[in-house]
Structures are given as C-alpha cells and as structure tokens.
Amino acid sequence: MSRHPTRILRATAALLLSLLSGCVKKSEYDALQVENQTLQTRVDQTNHLLVQSQADLSAVQVQMQQYLTVQTQLQKTQLELKQSQDEFAALKTRFEQFRTQRRSAMVGKKFPLLSLDDGKSLRLAEITAVSADEVSIRHADGAIKVALANTNPDLRWEACYDPVEARDKARERSLTAAREPGGLPAPGKGPAAEGAAPMPGPGAVAPARNVVEILRTQLAAQRKQLNTEYEALAAKNPSGLRGAEWNSTRPEASPLLNTLSASRAVLGISRLQVQRNAILATLQQLRDLDPSAR
C-alpha cells in the first residue's frame, strides 16, 4: 500500500518536468542567462564607481577642511600684520617726535672748538639750526651751513642722522629751489660749499669732474675718520673686538658693521654704523657720477 503513492508522485514529477521543458526553449533560456550576466556586470561596475566616488568625496572633504584651516590661519596672519603695521606706525611717529626733539635741543649748543670730518676746525662755534641733511653753525669767523654727513660722528649721532632721509631732503630742497625764481643756489653757498655732494643740473657752476673730486675727497676723509674711531673703540674694548674682521681700505664693508652675527654687544658699534651709513651715502652719490668708483 505505501509503495503505490510513491510511484504516483514520481510519475507526477516526471510529467511536470516534461511539461516545463516543453514550455521554455533552450535559446531563450541562454539569452536570459547572457542578459543576467550583463546586468550583473553593470551592477559590479556601478558598485565600483560608487566606491570610487565615495573616496573622491572624502578627499574633497579633506581638502575643504585644509582650505578652511588655511583660510583661518590667513585671517589670523592678516590681523597680526595689521597690528604690527599699526605698532610700527606708532613707533615711527614716536621716533620722528624724538628725532625732532633731539635736533631742537642741539640748537644753541656751543663748542670752544668744533672739528669737522674734512679737517676744518671752527672756533667758538654755536649751532643755530639743524635739519635732516645739514646744520647751520655760527663761529668766530662767520656763519656756515655744513652737510650733516661732513660734520663729525658726535653731531651725526645727536641729530639721528639718516643718509636716506638726508638724500630725500636734499632732493626736495633742490627741486624747490629750481622752481623758485633764480633757480639753483649761488656759487659758494649751500651744502655744496662745505663739501656736500652738489646737485648737478642745468646751469650748475661746478663741472662733473670737480664734483667727483669733491666726493672722492669727502669719501677719503670719512673712511679715515671711521678707521680712527674703530681703532679707538678696539683700544677700549680689546676683549670685545678680539678676532673681529676689519677692512681698513673699505671700512664700510667690514663684516663687523654689516652682519648681525659679526656685530658684538660693544658700546660704540652703533656709532660706527652711523659713520658707515654716511660713507655709503657719499659712495652712492659718487657712483651716480662715476660708476667705476669704489
């Protein structure tokens, strides 16, 4: 009895299989298989593109974060720069006020004997005016104006002498004089009469050759004075200046005055540097007329 239903089930299954195999053609089944494989490939490719896009998005997010960090740092730096500029402007204003007070305090100062860099000595000298580039002096034999660059280290120090400021002031004065009736200053007057570099131009009295000779003489006197000041300083501070390299031929080029690493914490170095600046200003004026000058 139990075997009979089993035979019936087997027969039924075989009948169904035969019916199914007869409903779907093999070619259609193969086509469905190919289409299924194609779709699966597209799904795989899409998944790969999705993963790549997610990686690209993460990279962009990192770059955006870096950009925001840099932008924040830039804003901070700009703020610090603005604060530094404001502090520098305030410091510059204070220095200009200090410099003006120093020069005003020099007016009326008297010297029994005032020696200048060019070797000239003025008896019973009294300062009557001080500007950025020159000083007016009344003395026993009259009154003169002397370029600050040609006075002496002490006066340049007191007047806070700056070669750049002096050059700009001299140029401004020259332009103003040229616009006024009468043009250039008369011979024998003004800073040129005291050994300062004259401003060549139409109608200038001294030819270029004479100007060059004046500048060469001035440069030699300034270099001699700087060497003398250095020797005096070295005698006072033998330990502080031991091993310092000094160029007596061109003292303004000495490393002691031109590099921070070579400069020593010795009182008086800044005075030498002021003289160095005066020499460089004269040398620049000389090179403007004679490029081969050294």
Amino acid 200: pLDDT? 43
Domain boundaries, the chain: 161-289
Amino acid 137: pLDDT? 95
Amino acid 184: pLDDT? 46
Q: Which two tokens stand for residue 276?
A: 């160095």
The total number of residues written for the chain in this structure: 294
Which parts of the chain have pLDDT scores under 70?
1-25, 177-209, 259-267
Amino acid 170: pLDDT? 80
Amino acid 114: pLDDT? 93
- Tell whether pTM > 0.85: no
Sheet holding 142-147, edge to edge: 110-115, 121-130, 134-139, 142-147
211-269 pLDDT per residue, tens: 778 888 888 888 998 898 888 888 888 877 777 889 889 988 888 887 655 555 566 77
Query: Closest Cα to residue 128, out of 118, 114, 119, 139?
Result: 139
